[in-house]
Amino acid sequence: MTKFHLILRNLVYFRAANLAVALGMAVATAVLTGALMVGDSVRGSLRALAVQLSPADPVGTATLRVRPGTGWALRRLATAERTGDGGWDALEVPYAGRWTMAEDVASFGPDVVVDGPPELREAVLVLLHGAAGAA
């Protein structure tokens, strides 16, 4: 009996065990490959989400008048704050998106007034007019 015949007889005799080992290796390979692909996909998704959620660079600075005791969210973002005349405080607030800032300002209603820039003031007026028309 040659080595080849011995190996062949061994494979035939233990065919069930050999088949189980081969299937187990195939399943393990598929699971590991899938895990690597999903891991890369999740890593890419998390990286994209982190970029999306990170604060954007400011494109402008809003000059706002705020009634004392109100607008705490805007005060927290302000780079400069001074007590103004006429019972209003003046804030300098950097913003990244005009409409996002306009929504923030409009949410305070009559307690916050935009002094500049004009395009932000117009955006706030559009939102307030829309809210008044919807009411």
Q: Is the peptide bond before 110 cis (omega within 30 degrees of 0)?
A: no
- What is the model's pLDDT at position 131? 80
Closest CA to 58 of 27, 93, 89: 93
User: DSSP of 64-130, one letter per residue?
Assistant: EEE-TT--HHHHHH-SEEEE-GGG-EEEEEEES-HHHHHHHHHTTGGGEEEEE-HHHHHHHHHHHHH
Q: In this structure, what token pair is assigned to residue 55? A: 């604060």
- What is the model's pLDDT at position 102? 94
* Number of Cβ atoms within 10 Å of the Cβ of 69: 8
State the sign of the Cα–Cα–Cα–Cα dihedral 98, 104, 107, 108.
negative
- What is the model's pLDDT at position 135? 58
User: DSSP of 44-65, one letter per residue?
Assistant: HHHHHHHHHHSPPPP-EEEEEE
For the chain (length 135 residues), average pLDDT per consecutive 10?
Answer: 88 90 92 79 80 80 94 92 86 92 93 94 92 72
| Residue pLDDT, tens place only, 52-84 | 787 778 889 999 999 998 999 999 999 999 987
Q: In this structure, what token pair is assigned to residue 80? A: 């400069």
Q: What is the pTM of this model?
A: 0.57
Q: Taking a C-beta distance cutoff of 8 angstroms, is the pair 73, 92 a contact?
A: no
Domain ranges (residues) in the chain: 3-53, 60-134
